[in-house]
Chain A
């Protein structure tokens, strides 16, 4: 009698499959002549946004005769991150999975090349920004396709009235809806003066200095504005540079005008700060505005999303892309790629942007002028500048251009915001730089 052994891998695969099955899953059935495809997509914050992707996927499945099962996996409590890790370990899971910012490079060896998908898409839809390329393409191989769903720019969202009254800045005139920005004077100096004025006026800017993504992203963009890299593209530690010192000095001055408890902030703190009416500005995608529209309409009427101030090395804004990727153990790779091409068409992207109230951001250059961003209100045009339509700022990610394995650790361990807080709280500059250099040295291990 043949005996069947349960291998470790098989056991882990079973466990992962069980945990996946526990995720609430709407089921879309097609005629499935072309096989089955399982999808694990990020569960959108915006109510109703999942419906758009579900409808699009059903449309594609009906046309292609593919039986599709669809799981929406929340990123709350790191559920999506854990699912990705479990599938990677088990070598079993969804055919198409949403990968957050750093995950394509983390799982580079296990992902199918998407060169045959991305190259035609770039020709058709325009180039992707350098951050998408840095995160999604390693060693000439596209690891994943940038996903419209969940991708976001975390630029300033300002109070029109408070910025005008307290800082003398007309953000609507600086970033007018329907025409190019007139933001030459919107520099780090102007930003600092505005922060000081709003602080004095009792409405400080709500910029966190914690260890979560919003805080890290803002620090990353400000560091880029000074040309301050902690590690260069070759992997050399460049912490002890003049630019890093300048960035820390600037941040120290800025921190004096931020809420005292900014080092304890998480990703919800800045939203609450703005919606409560306390703050004159935060750095966030339009989710805070969407919440204000629902809970504090008077505040929402005064909100305007616009570009980042420019530093000595340029104008950088934080961009956090999501990706769709396919494991190399996926059983229906061709169908997965076909679906990604379909979802990356202008008509599909526009529907997803519309359903998310303008939150979602396609990565392709030709997709930054959908009518949703021009029409969303109140006030009308509040999101016009959100997708960077005139390409006047460089979309960036904290810790770039360091090699991915080092950069991911710098990002997740919030080295930049920790440096800022240490230095601003009185630690000597050299001691802060030494600490950061030693931490990063540890990230370089293989």
Chain B
């Protein structure tokens, strides 16, 4: 039996070797193998923690039994949670709008600087984005210090009274948004600048021949050509801003009166500091479905426009 089987098995081995050889020659296989280290890293550092967070969010406070969506149902009954939802939306949407506007305007200024001096400006304008946010926020904390604010010191000779930057709800919200805009605007600026440089000069020339004003050039040429970049940048920034932690944690720790808490900081307060890890996990996961839907729509729109082109 073995004698008979041997040639077959050799042939089979030969076949499998050649099919493995063919498989290895496929571009997709090579691409997969080259991407494998990254896929493994993502599985370990992203997929596993995310799955574990979902598992934690479905446990009771004592982490002894499965409660399904019980923690989310409980959150919906809490006033503080809705305050956090409101603040997270206010924080993220306001900050992204201002970052986009400032980034757009500054990108135009930089674009119009002669190329010789442009590199210096680009470098300088990127500094807030390059410094680790926890560190730069510490500097802002000193500028906004309740008792010794350097900004108040400068405003005093101008007759402006002491501003409670982090001591009053409205000002505290303003302060955290301001710092977020300061850190994030350079990212928008550099993305928009890259997009501006890719707009063909002929389009502007044609518009000029047609007698278009500067506003018409922006509205009918620049903005349509930058649409995809604007959408992607806004989406990425929205996700990152919703998930922010360091700025609020360092600057106000969520105070005063919980008026600056966002999902990340409140999840930490409830889960780690307060010892209710399942509820903290639920808070941190709350935005995932909403952001996923937003991301789907924005990315679908971009794909659609891509296929139209």
Contact A412 B255 (CB under 8 A): no
Q: How far is the CB of B136 from chain A (nearest CB, A)?
A: 16
**Residue ID in chain A nearest B65 by CB atoms:** A446
Among the stretches B4-12, B179-187, B213-221, B266-274, the one at the interface with A is: B266-274
- Residue from B60, B258, B272 in contact with A446 in the complex, judged by beta carbons closer than 8 Å: B60
Q: Number of A-B pairs whose CB atoms are under 8 Å?
A: 84
Q: How far is the CB of B269 from chain A (nearest CB, A)?
A: 7
A409 to B276, CA, bound (A): 9
**Residue ID in chain B nearest A439 by CB atoms:** B80
A269 to B146, CA, bound (A): 8
A278 to B79, CA, bound (A): 38
Between B79, B167, B257, B272, the greatest number of chain A beta carbons within 10 A of the residue's beta carbon is seen for B257
Contact A421 B256 (CB under 8 A): yes
Q: How far is the CB of B169 from chain A (nearest CB, A)?
A: 9
Between B74, B168, B172, the greatest number of chain A beta carbons within 10 A of the residue's beta carbon is seen for B168
Known contacts A260-B167, A264-B252; A82/B274 CB under 8 A? no
Contact A442 B78 (CB under 8 A): yes
Contact B256 A263 (CB under 8 A): yes
How many chain B residues touch A (CB < 8 A): the figure is 35
Q: Which residues of B contact A446 (CB under 8 A)?
A: 60-62
- Residue from B62, B74, B167, B277 in contact with A264 in the complex, judged by beta carbons closer than 8 Å: B167
B124-168 interface mask toward A, CB cutoff 8 Å, 1 = contact, 0 = none? 000000000000000000000011100000000000001011111
Contact A405 B61 (CB under 8 A): yes
Q: Which residues of B contact A269 (CB under 8 A)?
A: 146-147
- Residue from B147, B258, B274 in contact with A409 in the complex, judged by beta carbons closer than 8 Å: B274
Contact B274 A264 (CB under 8 A): no
Q: Which residues of A contact B77 (CB under 8 A)?
A: 442
**Residue ID in chain A nearest B79 by CB atoms:** A438
B170, CB-defined interface residue at 8 Å:
no
Chain A interface size, as a band, is: 35 or more
Contact A412 B273 (CB under 8 A): yes
Contact A264 B276 (CB under 8 A): no
B84, CB-defined interface residue at 8 Å:
no
Q: Which residues of A contact B52 (CB under 8 A)?
A: 8
A223 to B298, CA, bound (A): 53
- Residue from B164, B257, B275 in contact with A418 in the complex, judged by beta carbons closer than 8 Å: B257
Q: Which residues of A contact B274 (CB under 8 A)?
A: 408-409, 412-413
Q: Which residues of B contact A405 (CB under 8 A)?
A: 61, 275
- Residue from B146, B253, B257, B276 in contact with A422 in the complex, judged by beta carbons closer than 8 Å: B257
Q: Which residues of B contact A261 (CB under 8 A)?
A: 146-147, 164, 166-167
A272, CB-defined interface residue at 8 Å:
yes
B75-92 interface mask toward A, CB cutoff 8 Å, 1 = contact, 0 = none? 001111000000000000
Q: What is the interface of chain B, defined by CB distance below 8 A to chain A? A: 48, 52, 60-62, 74, 77-80, 146-148, 162, 164-168, 172, 252-258, 269-270, 272-277
Q: What is the interface of chain A, defined by CB distance below 8 A to chain B? A: 8, 11, 78, 81-82, 85, 102, 106, 210-212, 259-266, 269, 272-273, 276, 278, 405, 408-409, 412-413, 418, 421-422, 435, 438-439, 442, 445-446
Write 28 A-B pairs (CB below 8 A) sorted by A numbering.
A82-B272, A210-B255, A211-B254, A259-B146, A260-B162, A260-B164, A261-B146, A261-B147, A261-B166, A262-B146, A262-B167, A263-B167, A264-B252, A266-B253, A269-B147, A272-B147, A272-B148, A273-B147, A278-B147, A405-B275, A409-B276, A418-B257, A421-B257, A442-B74, A442-B77, A445-B61, A445-B74, A446-B60
